[in-house]
Structure 1
Amino acid sequence: MNSYMIKKLDLLYKRYKYISKKLGNYRTYNDYNSLRNLSTEYSKLSNIIRPFLKWKKLQLNLINNKILLKEKDKEIYLMVLEDIKNIKIKQKKIEKILYKLLSPKKEEDDRNCFIEIKAGSGGNEAAIFVKNISRMYIRYAESKKWKIEIINIHYNENGNGFKEIILKIMGIGVYGKLKFESGGHRVQRVPETESQGRIHTSTCIIAVMPELLKTEISEINYQDLKIDTFRSSGAGGQHVNTTDSAIRITHLPTGIVVECQDERSQHKNKAKALSVLAARINTLEIEKKNKDNAIKKKILLGSGDRSDRNRTYNFIQKRVTDHRINLTIYKLNEIMDGNLDILINPIIYQYNTIKL
């Protein structure tokens, strides 16, 4: 456990002892509001302080055992080493509990989210990469038992990739898990059409947006919207149906355009498109508010240039690198098959540690 976390816990322990003393004073019971607030705070702090005191007791045992390591008796030395090992295992378990209790959490972390993936530089290879990445997120969502809904897909000219795809992922804590996926992602690999084996670099841009509540969506001024209808189509330009059920909504003040053609019902497509539009507008407003925040800058939507990247997927070396935290993992196949926690958990830990 790092020193910052210990300092924070020590401060909370001081506060806990202070409240405990106040609650032991009969005069506190004369003020109902004060008593209620102190009791609530005491209850919350108790959940943190109990494991912290266990950790401190183990820490004291650890210090005492390290002194015993100076003993020359080999049998005692080996016993102490084993005891130290067990203490550290117990401490690690408690640290995980404390970390979870102290980690800052926002209300929107528990919401569903939209994942918008667009092809950046790299032409056809970028579109194929978008298809690969969308499959990766779908597999990850399936492993978490989350529900997945495809809002819209724009196929590339060859029909073997996506210019753009918007997914809606539904489940508990979805946005909190996926919010740091926003930004530029790039791939380095040899395309199947490359006869001389040259490595090709292409990119995609990912934006992860929390789903807004219905009351928040209704705040959009409908006079600011231009709504067009058109016929839904699939890969290669083949029409999915013969009615104008697909919807394109343009938000005139920001220029944001959202399309939805997944449903055969124009009404359903419009509702989906509006929910995505509301999420985009909200994200844009947050970005403006936090443009000077160094932590937020790391997770904002990138430009899609080759130089702008959060993560690199190198198929030649079977590695994935997250440039924000200098993390490199040689398990590309596992990651592309949906094992994203090995990338997501370290960056959440890093972010929460900074916030703490």
Structure 2
Amino acid sequence: MLEKLQALEERFLEIEKSISDPELVTKDQKKWKELTKEHSDLQGTIEKYKEYKKVCQSYEEAQEIISSQTDDDLVELAKEEINELENDKLKLEEELKVLLLPKDPNDSKNVIVEIRGSAGGDEAALFANDIFKMYCRYAESKGWKTEVLNSHYNDIGGIKEITFVIEGEGAYSRLKYESGVHRVQRIPSTESGGRIHTSTITVAVLPEVEDVDVEINANDLRVDRFCSSGPGGQSVNTTQSAVRITHLPTGITVSCQDEKSQHKNKDKAMRVLRARLVEKYEEEQASELADERKSQVGTGDRSERIRTYNFPQSRVTDHRIGLTLHKLDGILAGELDQIVEELITADQLEKMKKVE
């Protein structure tokens, strides 16, 4: 671990020297931006390493006092300091192990989120709307921007399906764990007998990719144009502004109708298509990842779930980590940090086991 940290510190200092060179800024902006980002990514680890080295130095000094001093009071103080420093040293070593774990290259990217009502009809669609609002409120609390790319609502304000992008530094790193089946248990407003119903929705979270991340041949695309529709399928636009793009080699189809402009709808559809294609290619390259993805998203059946939202008990349970919180209203209001932090910790512990 110390060898890795030493190498990273040397790399950090090397980058620091490069990005402070005004000639690089002038001649190669792209390279300068890449180095600046790498410098920023390393900064937290290097600062923690410096803190660790400082503790190690203090520890050695305290040991020197114990072995060389004859003053009992000084020796006693040094022993007390050593106990504290040992605890600090162990804590910092654990933190550094986490910081040295392989980074997900997508963590700093924006996310494209797709929510679909699944088992439960209208009640599932209403719950899909609740979860969409939950993510919007969470994004707002982080200072991130949300933009709807495509949506289909039913007659009572429920969401059949919605695709939206959340733009903000680290959005993917915190929302990637939301992929899967979300289950709701509550009494529907239409239920006269007061019985609790169970419904499900599926959530997929994809990192948004740049044009350079995937090459799309225009000849591989079929673009269909049609009139956009509102709740219940009624036409809300007499012009053919809605766009459906089919990627012929893979059969992936993406639609967008939320904008009045055909051009804007096509741009939005291409953003989603790029993300889905990258995901598909990555899954093909790593079958293990593909199996994990399938087990996360599943089919939307009531028996499959990553999280349950129980309204009568004001309870939210994340089944992957066995976490139960009795603050449903707060979570639906966007207070997701506690769940997200627990999921990140569990993921890091799992990765540390594999490294060890």
TM-score range, shorter chain: 0.7 to 0.9
The Cα shift of 1:92 comes to: 10
My pick for the range that moved more, 239-248 or 50-59, is 50-59
The Cα shift of 1:199 comes to: 1.3
Counterparts of 1:290 and 1:232, CA distance in 2: 38
2:144 equivalent among 131, 134, 146: 146
Give the residue type in structure 2 aligned to 1:206: V
**Aligned residue for 1:75?**
none
Counterparts of 1:167 and 1:123, CA distance in 2: 22
The Cα shift of 1:321 comes to: 1.0
Residue pairs, 1:220-239, within 5 angstroms:
220-239=216-235
CA offsets, 1:261-317, max 9 Å, x none? 121111111111011011112112223333325994587432111122111111111
**Aligned residue for 1:51?**
51
Residue pairs, 1:1-356, within 5 angstroms:
8=1, 47-53=47-53, 98=96, 101-156=99-154, 158-217=155-214, 219-293=215-289, 296-297=292-293, 300-356=296-352
Decide whether aligned partners of structure 1 residues 354 and 57 sit closer, same or farther in structure 2, where only a CA change above 3 A counts: farther
My pick for the range that moved more, 233-242 or 326-335, is 233-242
State whether residues 182 and 299 of structure 1, in contact with CA within 8 Å, keep that contact through their aligned partners in structure 2: no
Aligned residue-pair number: 304
CA offsets, 1:192-234, max 9 Å, x none? 11122211111111111111111234x1233332211111233
Counterparts of 2:152 and 2:52, CA distance in 1: 52
Give the residue type in structure 2 aligned to 1:147: K
Give unpaired runs (5+ residues) of structure 2. 10-41, 61-79
Give unpaired runs (5+ residues) of structure 1. 1-7, 17-41, 61-79
Counterparts of 1:99 and 1:349, CA distance in 2: 13
Decide whether aligned partners of structure 1 residues 91 and 243 sit closer, same or farther in structure 2, where only a CA change above 3 A counts: farther
Decide whether aligned partners of structure 1 residues 351 and 9 sit closer, same or farther in structure 2, where only a CA change above 3 A counts: farther
Q: Name the % identity.
A: 49
State whether residues 52 and 89 of structure 2, in contact with CA within 8 Å, keep that contact through their aligned partners in structure 1: no
State whether residues 110 and 207 of structure 2, in contact with CA within 8 Å, keep that contact through their aligned partners in structure 1: yes
SS of 1:179 mapped into structure 2: helix
Counterparts of 1:259 and 1:47, CA distance in 2: 46
Give the alignment's TM-score, normalised by structure 1. Answer: 0.74
Query: For the aligned residues, what is the CA RMSD?
Result: 3.6
Counterparts of 1:195 and 1:88, CA distance in 2: 64
Give the alignment's TM-score, normalised by structure 2. Answer: 0.74
Decide whether aligned partners of structure 1 residues 92 and 288 sit closer, same or farther in structure 2, where only a CA change above 3 A counts: same
My pick for the range that moved more, 229-238 or 333-342, is 229-238
